[in-house]
């Protein structure tokens, strides 16, 4: 017959388990404290680096990208706030100014593209409109994406729409596009042409004519597309936001 474990033994075992638990918690706290100290040290060095190379960070796009990657590695976003140390460097101001200029370009082109503009066209127009004091700053599509994402604080009035690898549209009007509408834009981009038709959507996406027509009618209604009834074969739907993309593609292929 097995001998039952006594109450004293159980109590002793419980105390030992609590000691191990306390020891484990203590070790974990020490490790977290050491990690926090390392991060603070790295953050201080990062601030010193940013202060020393302030002009290079603002003027050189590649240098700026590497700097942001270093910041992201320790969870620091110097572009998210205009307060504190980063404000003295002017890094927050750089992206705030860029965001304001993005809004200005989008508002100026809304009447013809319905609030959709390609990132490449946005960059071209923005660089052209910047003052002489900003002409020396190199602006990349990555900078525009970072600045445009800051505009999400205004709700869904500004959003980024990926249409294919490395290509984006900036939407500057309220409202979210459905999956069908996004697929329409992707089809236009994939074909390197600024138009689409019901039959193309039927053949490429296996849609019914009703589904394709409903999606295209919405795009026209919202101002994203222009309806063309002059085509001898079938009605076409042109997307002014992709005119520049298609023209560039034609130049590259010629």
Instruction: Please report, for the domain that includes residue 222, its CATH number.
Output: 1.10.10.10
Same domain, 141 and 212: yes
Among residues 56, 80, 104, the one where a domain terminates is 80
* Euclidean distance between CA atoms 10 and 5, whole angstroms: 7
Same domain, 36 and 132: no
Residue 196 pLDDT: 93
Residue 43 pLDDT: 67
89 within domain boundaries: no
Same domain, 73 and 127: no
Same domain, 185 and 244: yes
* Euclidean distance between CA atoms 42 and 191, whole angstroms: 48
51 within domain boundaries: yes
pLDDT (tens place) for every residue of the chain, 254 residues total: 455 555 566 666 666 666 666 656 666 666 667 666 766 676 677 667 767 777 777 677 677 777 767 776 766 665 554 444 445 455 556 777 788 888 889 888 888 888 899 999 999 998 888 766 555 567 888 888 888 877 776 666 688 888 877 889 988 887 778 889 999 998 888 887 889 999 999 999 999 999 999 999 999 998 999 999 998 889 999 999 887 665 555 544 44
Among residues 50, 80, 110, the one where a domain terminates is 80
Residue 130 pLDDT: 77
Same domain, 46 and 131: no
Buried-state track 215-234, b at ≥16 Cβ within 10 A, e below 16: bbebbeeebbbbeeeeeeee
* Euclidean distance between CA atoms 10 and 94, whole angstroms: 65
Residue pair 90/55 in contact (Cβ under 8 Å)? The answer is no
61 within domain boundaries: yes
129 within domain boundaries: yes
Residue 21 pLDDT: 65
49 within domain boundaries: yes
Same domain, 126 and 63: no
Same domain, 117 and 45: no
* Euclidean distance between CA atoms 132 and 54, whole angstroms: 20
- Could you give the number of structural domains in the chain? 2
Residue 85 pLDDT: 47
Among residues 31, 54, 80, the one where a domain terminates is 80
Residue 32: which domain range? 8-80
| Torsion angle defined by CA atoms of residues 90, 92, 98 and 101, in that order, rounded to the nearest 10 degrees | -90
């Amino acid at each position: 017959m097995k001998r039952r474990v006594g109450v004293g033994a159980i109590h002793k075992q419980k105390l030992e388990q609590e000691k191990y638990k306390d020891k484990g918690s203590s070790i974990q706290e020490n490790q977290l404290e050491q990690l926090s100290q390392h991060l603070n040290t790295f953050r201080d060095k990062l601030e010193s680096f940013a202060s020393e190379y302030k002009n290079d960070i603002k003027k050189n796009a590649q240098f700026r990208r590497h700097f942001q990657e270093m910041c992201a590695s320790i969870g620091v976003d110097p572009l998210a706030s205009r307060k504190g140390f980063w404000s003295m460097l002017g890094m927050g101001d750089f992206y705030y100014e860029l965001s304001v200029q993005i809004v200005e370009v989008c508002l100026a082109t809304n009447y013809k593209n319905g609030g959709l503009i390609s990132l490449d066209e946005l960059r071209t127009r923005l660089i052209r409109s910047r003052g002489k004091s900003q002409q020396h700053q190199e602006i990349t599509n990555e900078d525009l994406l970072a600045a445009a994402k800051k505009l999400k604080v205004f709700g869904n009035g500004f959003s980024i729409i990926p249409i294919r690898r490395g290509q984006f549209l900036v939407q500057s009007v309220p409202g979210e596009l459905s999956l069908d509408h996004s697929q329409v834009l992707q089809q236009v981009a994939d074909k390197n042409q600024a138009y689409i038709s019901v039959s193309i959507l039927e053949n490429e996406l296996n849609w019914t004519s009703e589904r394709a027509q409903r999606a295209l009618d919405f795009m026209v209604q919202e101002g994203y597309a222009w309806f063309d009834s002059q085509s001898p074969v079938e009605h076409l739907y042109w997307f002014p936001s992709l005119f520049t993309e298609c023209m560039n593609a034609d130049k590259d292929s010629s």
